[in-house]
Amino acid sequence: MLIAIGAALAVLTGIGAGVGISKATATAVDAIARQPEAEGKIRSTLLLGCALAEATAIYGFVIALLIIIML
């Protein structure tokens, strides 16, 4: 029972990553709308941030799988 709860909590990192990526994308679109000349710099920063947030979600998923498989 506790194993399932631990795995579920580890998978919940995907929700945090989704919210973070959506907030970052909305802010980047707003910034590009305000300063179109800075689009390249904003886009590269956005892609780096999204990659890091997605990596966090993947780590949580891997931890959840390890909890289920190992225990």
Spell out the CATH class of 2-70. Answer: mainly alpha
pLDDT the model gives residue 2: 83
How confident is the model over 5-57, as pLDDT tens digits? 888 888 888 888 899 999 999 999 999 999 999 999 999 999 999 999 999 99
pLDDT the model gives residue 26: 95
Q: Residue range 49-71: average pLDDT?
A: 89
pLDDT the model gives residue 67: 87
Give the predicted TM-score (pTM) of the model.
0.77
pLDDT the model gives residue 46: 95
List, in sequence order, the alpha helices (H) in the chain. Answer: 2-11, 13-34, 39-70
By residue count, the chain amounts to 71
3-state SS, residue 35: coil
